[in-house]
Amino acid sequence: MTFTLDRRFFLTLAGAGTGAAALAACGGPSTTPGAATATAADIDFSGVKPAASIDFWSNHPGKSQDVEKSIIEKFHAKYPDIKVNLVTAGANYEEIAQKFQTAQAAKSGLPSLVVLSDVWWFRYYLNESIISIDSLVKQLDINLADFRTSLVDDYKYAGKQWALPYGRSTPLFYYNKDHFAAAGLPDRAPATWQEFAGWAPKLKAASGTQYAFMHPALAGYAGWTLQNNLWGEGGSWSKGWDITCDSAESVAALQAAQDSVYKDAWAGVSSKESADDFAAGLASATLSSTGSLIGILKSAKFNVGVGFLPGGSKEKTGVCPTGGAGLGIPSGVTKEEQLAAAMFLQFMTEPENTAAFSAATGYMPTRTSADMTTVLAQTPQIKIAMDQLAVTRVQDNARAFLPGADQEMAKAAAKILTQQGDVKATMTELKATLEGIYTKDVKPKLKA
């Protein structure tokens, strides 16, 4: 599998290729065509009156329910003839995906606007479950040029715009400043995981905690955060479409992670949410989304430090992935609902509101004109997240584009980090699984 292409080109091919059934997944929503209406052609909204009521499905990323409600109240003040009903559609992106797929199959109960995650949203396109928003962007005069290019372009392919960025994030390194000071360590994130491994015994001794570091919950986004460990050692889940999770470099990176739990015994593995474990003082450091920042700062009874993700022995920078979610409009609802949803989508992503959302959660401000002065004065740590965006790396194809791969990566990580499974054997097994997904579900879409 030596064929390579970048993310944008893959998505263009996915849009231009044959039937969506070829991308059926190992888990999550299927990609067989449903009851969706036209998505390839722009919908004509001339003469359409916006619906009086719409449902907005969210999992409230970054514990954002309160700020979402606040923005909705402001929207109601500006557009009193449109009521937005905020619906908790799941506790995470996967639960929203399942609920959305169920509604598609039932041909009823669809939302007018829905949160789309980084590894699920393109399936909705393939499934013809969402519409391109180009005609709505033109009609409502939405200023796409003011969005951060790298974030808005993630939802462009086949020459069209399919969503707008919403809760966009990177992982951050969170650390307990008090523990670091007690251990006589510098007040910063470690430059590399090797440096942190040297710090770990001092942190355990000085803090009295069981763990110097808490690995993120594997059932959540192990495939996302472990890219950092892999890249730092010159490894990866994949390079282009070559699956490389069993390479010597990848195995070495994951062996080091396993050693941190078992052999060296300075790390634990969160059973639910590492950000909560860290804020509760159960560990001196962790990795978690920028979207966890405000929650951690509010919950922690100690001084919280944040920094860039550590590098490894091979790569010291460019070891941080982006992630998060956007907002899209389903194809199976009326034009009236789609127009009202687009009006609310425009409002949600206006500079003032994206700044408010960032202030409440720690997610990236998606608009370049968003005035972050007040936000940064109150929460200067957000600046670290904004700065790290400049040194992020596009996610490995295997994680972002192979249907069901994220779940398979989580299973493999669980074997390694919670069952002390043989790293090489586990990665060899994972490679076979990922290559099977590629060969069956993705390769038929690609043209050399």
- Strand bridging mode 320-321 / 392-393: parallel
Q: Which residue has the higher pLDDT, 394 or 366?
A: 366
The beta strand positions in 299-410, using DSSP E, are 304-307, 320-321, 323-328, 392-393
Q: Could you give all domains of the chain from N- to C-terminal order, each with its CATH number?
A: 34-169+324-370 (3.40.190.10), 171-321+395-445 (3.40.190.10)
**Residue type at 228 in one-letter notation:** N
Q: Which residue has the higher pLDDT, 127 or 309?
A: 309
| Rounded average pLDDT over 391-409 | 88
Task: Output the CA angle 164-364-254, nearest 5 degrees.
Answer: 105
Q: What pLDDT, on a 0 to 100 scale, did the predictor assign at position 158? A: 75
Give the list of residues 6+ apart from residue 432 with CB closer than 8 angstroms, or none.
none
Q: What pLDDT, on a 0 to 100 scale, did the predictor assign at position 446? A: 62
Percent of the chain at pLDDT exceeding 70: 90
Binning pLDDT at 50, 70 and 90, where does residue 19 land? Answer: very low
* Rounded CA separation 339/264 (Å): 57
Residue bearing tokens 């669980």: 414
Q: What is the number of other CB atoms lying within 10 angstroms of the CB of residue 178? A: 18
Binning pLDDT at 50, 70 and 90, where does residue 403 land? Answer: confident
Q: Mean pLDDT for the chain? A: 88
Count of alpha carbons within 13 Å of 130, Cβ hemisphere only? 31
Question: In the predicted model, is pLDDT for residue 128 greater than 90?
Answer: no
Q: What pLDDT, on a 0 to 100 scale, did the predictor assign at position 22? A: 31
| Rounded average pLDDT over 378-395 | 89
DSSP string, 191-256: SBHHHHHHHHHHHHHHH--SBSEEEPPHHHHHHHHHHHHHHHTT--SEETTEE-TTSHHHHHHHHH
Instruction: Give per-residue pLDDT as tens, 165-199.
Output: 999 889 999 999 999 999 999 999 999 999 999 99
Question: In the predicted model, is pLDDT for residue 283 greater than 60?
Answer: yes
Question: In the predicted model, is pLDDT for residue 85 greater than 70?
Answer: yes
Structure tokens at 6: 């970048």
Question: In the predicted model, is pLDDT for residue 148 greater than 90?
Answer: no
Question: In the predicted model, is pLDDT for residue 12 greater than 90?
Answer: no
Q: What is the number of other CB atoms lying within 10 angstroms of the CB of residue 207? A: 20
Binning pLDDT at 50, 70 and 90, where does residue 93 land? Answer: confident
Question: In the predicted model, is pLDDT for residue 127 greater than 80?
Answer: no
Q: Which range among 24-38, 87-101, 153-167 shows the weakest confidence by mean pLDDT?
A: 24-38
Binning pLDDT at 50, 70 and 90, where does residue 8 land? Answer: very low
Q: What is the reported pTM?
A: 0.80
Instruction: Give per-residue pLDDT as tens, 334-363.
Output: 999 999 999 999 999 999 999 999 988 888
Instruction: Give per-residue pLDDT as tens, 227-256.
Output: 999 999 999 999 988 999 999 999 999 999
* Rounded CA separation 111/125 (Å): 16
Give the list of residues 6+ apart from residue 386 with CB closer than 8 angstroms, or none.
364, 365, 372
Question: In the predicted model, is pLDDT for residue 11 greater than 80?
Answer: no
Q: What pLDDT, on a 0 to 100 scale, did the predictor assign at position 121? A: 78
| Rounded average pLDDT over 1-27 | 37
Tell me whether residue 403 is exposed, middle or buried, using C-beta atoms within 10 angstroms of its C-beta: 0 to 12, 13 to 18, 19 or more: buried
Q: What pLDDT, on a 0 to 100 scale, did the predictor assign at position 219? A: 73
Q: What pLDDT, on a 0 to 100 scale, did the predictor assign at position 221? A: 79
